[in-house]
Structure 1
Amino acid sequence: MTKVQKQEMVETLTQEFRTAQALLVCDYKGIGVKSLEELRHNARQANVKVQVIKNTLARIALNNANMPELDIKDTNIFIWGEDQISLAKIAVKFAEANAEKFVIKTGSFEGQKVDKDHIISVSKLPSREELIGMLLSVWTAPARYFATGLDNLRKQKEQNS
């Protein structure tokens, strides 16, 4: 990789890290290509990016994007996106399936450094779609109960006639 290519990559990563609400750093030592492709496929569906980046370039891009100082050592894969819940769900699910070879190290949510335990707890929260479904269920409940009550009243009147 030439110096110009490295500079372009750092500029691109800086822009992406600035817009990302969540970023994770994970150790992927020993993971096969097929497993990484599965992670990338799941991430792509959730509009999350997954990339192996040289530690030096990642450090520069993170610093340029005003991200918190993250512990970047050894082999790392970076996962980032807009929705921290879906990002955490993808990473934690993949880490559980590949426990010996894929480890979540640290991350940044909305510009704040977070540890592995925080990431796991965020992954257990309901997703945006699940929350919308719950809200719609609550909103439609009175109408459902009203319709059920009217139907029961109709049945009762039919039995009395």
Structure 2
Amino acid sequence: MPCTANVNMLEKVAGSIEASKGVFVIDYLGLSVKETQELRRALREVGAEMKVYKNNIVKIALKNAGQPDIEELLAGPCAYVFYEKDPVDAAKVIKEQSEKLKKMSFIGGIADGKALSADEAKAYADLASREELMAQLVYVMASPLSGIAQVCAGPARGLVTALKAVADEKDAA
């Protein structure tokens, strides 16, 4: 019969997995309490949360939830960053904090329904955020439209310039 504390933790982990779109696994060893609080605060701002659970319980919860197998990554002290929205935002926060503190690193994760190695998880931090991609899309779509508007306005602009020149010529005479 399993320990009640472990059963409760399994329920918490299962809840975190269900409420999130994915998870990053990070090595947080060496972070002070203040640094950990700062990291959690930064993650909360982008819709993610960092939890520390027993690796064996996380393995069971991931298996029960039908998530990809990342069992080989879950060794030693790990923290789990569950994100609710965009994996890029959470990965950027982790990367920024790891560069700032020089005490933590990516171990791997699960994003878009597939297992990620440390390098693949780190690559998410180098992608453009959703807002940046939307701005680029608007720019790409608006560029041809503004060109068409300028071409259409060209003849009218030419007519106005010609009429002004005629008016100036009559005023001068």
Q: TM-score range by the shorter chain?
A: 0.7 to 0.9
2:107 corresponds to which of 95, 105, 108: 105
Equivalent in the alignment of 1:12: 12
Asked if 1:160 corresponds to 2:165, the answer is yes
Query: Are 1:18 and 1:66, in contact at CA under 8 Å, matched by a contact in 2?
Result: no
Q: Which amino acid in 1 is paired with 2:70?
A: E
Equivalent in the alignment of 2:70: 69
Q: Which amino acid in 1 is paired with 2:144?
A: P
Deviation of the 1:80 alpha carbon: 1.5
Provide the TM-score with structure 2 as the length reference: 0.77
Equivalent in the alignment of 1:92: 95
Equivalent residues, number? 158
Query: Which runs of 5 or more structure 1 residues have no equivalent in the other structure?
Result: none
Query: Are 1:84 and 1:109, in contact at CA under 8 Å, matched by a contact in 2?
Result: yes
1:141 corresponds to which of 140, 143, 150: 143
1:127 corresponds to which of 114, 129, 133: 129
Query: Are 2:26 and 2:79, in contact at CA under 8 Å, matched by a contact in 1?
Result: yes
Q: Partners in 2 of 1:81 and 1:144 — Cα distance?
A: 38
Give a deviation string over 1:52-85, Cα, whole Å, max 9, x none. 1122322222222222133212211110113222
DSSP 3-state at the match of 1:108: strand
Query: Which runs of 5 or more structure 2 residues have no equivalent in the other structure?
Result: 167-173
Equivalent in the alignment of 1:80: 82
Provide the TM-score with structure 1 as the length reference: 0.82
Q: Partners in 2 of 1:152 and 1:5 — Cα distance?
A: 78
Q: Which has the larger radius of gyration?
A: 2
Moved more, 64-73 or 101-110: 64-73
Query: Are 1:15 and 1:65, in contact at CA under 8 Å, matched by a contact in 2?
Result: no
Cα-Cα RMSD: 2.5
Q: How does 1:29-48 map to 2 (within 5 A)?
A: 29-48=29-48
Q: Percent identity, aligned pairs only? A: 25
Query: Are 2:108 and 2:119, in contact at CA under 8 Å, matched by a contact in 1?
Result: no
